[in-house]
Chain A
Amino acid sequence: MTSRQDLLDTLAQVGKALGSGHRLALLERLAQSEASVETLANTAELTVGNASAHLQHLRRADLSPQPARASR
């Protein structure tokens, strides 16, 4: 049962990424275009520190990795 539970816990990480109104605001902005943490924080009305913490959650679900440098 443990490996099944591990599977479900891993699946639930995607739910966790969506499990905050602030993260939904960040995802709404990210769905428009790529952006800096400052832009994301500003749009979602968060401090840069809070926005970074929420972006960590999204990264854990692999929804918003942080490229080494800007693309394009």
Chain B
Amino acid sequence: MIYRLTDERIVTLMSLLREVAETNLAEMERLVSRLFGSDDPNDTLEAVSRDDLLAGLREGSVALLDVRPHEEFQAGHLPDAINTPLDELETMLDALPRDRDIVAYCRGPYCVLSHEAVERLRKLGFRVRRFDEGFPEWKAAGLPVQ
């Protein structure tokens, strides 16, 4: 038995829900920073916004890393993204560029897979940051997907 979303506007509704919650509930900020805090207090892992990511992709200065499982990647992903699920990350290091900034993304703004990938790759010397949204928000914004 297979389930699927019948109305993709639910993604937009969830984004609005998140914005309202983050604006009005002080607790949200504390919980978000706990979820995305760094092991290293000096390391500010600021996430990349959609506009900055678009600019980086246009310039060709950014490589995209999709850390979701293969089946989710295959159903749709950002253009030219490299798929390396988190549990295969250490075996796929040769596929990742060292001469460009890497932006890692996963399922959405509160998805921790990309955060975990950033933490691990930074320790290995990669220049990498997390996208502050995910695949569904990118697609819902009408941006190109593959």
Question: Which A residues contact B (CB, under 8 angstroms)?
Answer: 14, 18, 24, 27-37, 39-40, 55, 62-67, 69-71
Distance of A64 Cα from B5 Cα, bound (Å): 5
Tier of interface size on chain B: 20 to 34
Closest Cβ–Cβ distance, residue B77 to chain A (whole Å):
10
Cβ–Cβ contact A32 & B136, under 8 A: yes
- Given the interface pairs A18-B17, A28-B111, the reply to whether A35 lies near B10 with Cβ below 8 Å is no
A38 CB → nearest B CB, Å: 9
Number of A-B contacts (CB under 8 A): 75
A62-B6 CB under 8 A given contacts A18-B13, A27-B14, A31-B107: yes
B135 and A36 within 8 A (CB) = no
Q: How far is the CA of A71 from the CA of B75 in the complex (A)?
A: 13
Contacts of B13 in A (CB 8 A): 14, 18
Q: How far is A30 from B5 in the complex, measured between Cα atoms in Å?
A: 6
Chain A residues lying within 8 Å of B8, measured Cβ to Cβ, are 31
> Which residues of chain A are within 8 angstroms of B135 by Cβ–Cβ distance?
31-32
Given contacts A27-B10, A28-B108, A31-B10, whether A37 and B75 have CB atoms under 8 Å apart is no
Known pairs A63-B5, A64-B4, A67-B4; A33 contacts B108 (CB<8 A):
no
Interface residue? B130 (CB, 8 A): no
Structural contact, B72 and A32, CB atoms closer than 8 A: yes
Given contact pairs A36-B1, A37-B1, enumerate 11 new A-B contacts (beta carbons under 8 Å): A27-B14, A31-B10, A31-B14, A34-B3, A35-B3, A36-B2, A55-B3, A63-B6, A64-B4, A67-B2, A67-B4
